[in-house]
Amino acid sequence: MKIEYRQADLDDAELLVKIYNASFYDDYLRYSVCPGYGNTKEMMEESIKRHPKHLILCEDEPVGSISYTKLGRGEYEVACLCIVPEFQGRGIGTHAMGFLKTFLEDWEKLTLVTPADKKQNVKFYTEKCGFQIESTERDGDVELVRFVLARDGSGSDGWENRSSWT
C-alpha cells in the first residue's frame, strides 16, 4: 500500500472539509458538536493558515489529513489526525504519526487531545504511537485526555530515516 503526504494549501480547503466531515461525522452525532465537523470552506482556509496540514494519500487517493501547531522550541501539538472511516484500521494513522515525527525534525515533545470515551483513540495513541496519558480536561460536556510523547535522550524515536515518506 503506497502512502504519501502532500502539504495542503488554500486550494485544498473544500477537499479537507469533505475529509473532516467524513472523519468526524460519528463524533458530531455522539457529542452534538465537533470542532472538526461542519466547517465552511472559509473556516478551513483559516485553519490551513493557522495549522499547517498535510493531505494523506493512499494509492493517490486523499484519505485523511494530519496537522500541527508549533507551541514552542521543539514542542508541537498534533492539531488533527483524521482518516476517513473506510480507510481506518489499515495502519495509515500510525504511518501518518511516523511521517509527522520525521517531518518535524526538531520535535522534542508532541501533545494532543482526544475524547476520553473514544477508547479506540486512546488505545491507538498509547499502543500504536507511544504516547503517554498526561492528564484529563474538560471542553464543555466532553472529557478529554491529554497525551504527551517526548523524544528519548538518544534522539532516536524509531522513525527516522524512513525512505517511504514523500
Q: Over 90: is that where the pLDDT of 15 sits?
A: yes
User: How many other CB atoms are found less than 10 A from the CB of residue 96?
Assistant: 23
d(CA 28, CA 135): 24
List CB contacts of 51: < 8 A, sequence separation 6 or more.
67, 68, 69, 79, 80
**What is the per-residue pLDDT for 136?**
95
Q: What is the mean pLDDT of residues 107-114?
A: 96
**Residue listed under C-alpha cell 472539509:** 17
- Domains of the chain plus CATH, in order, are 3-150 (3.40.630.30)
Percent of the chain surpassing pLDDT 70: 92
pTM: 0.86
pLDDT at 12 exceeding the cut of 90: yes
Per-residue model confidence as pLDDT tens digits over 44-103: 999 999 999 999 999 999 999 999 999 999 999 999 999 999 999 999 999 999 999 999
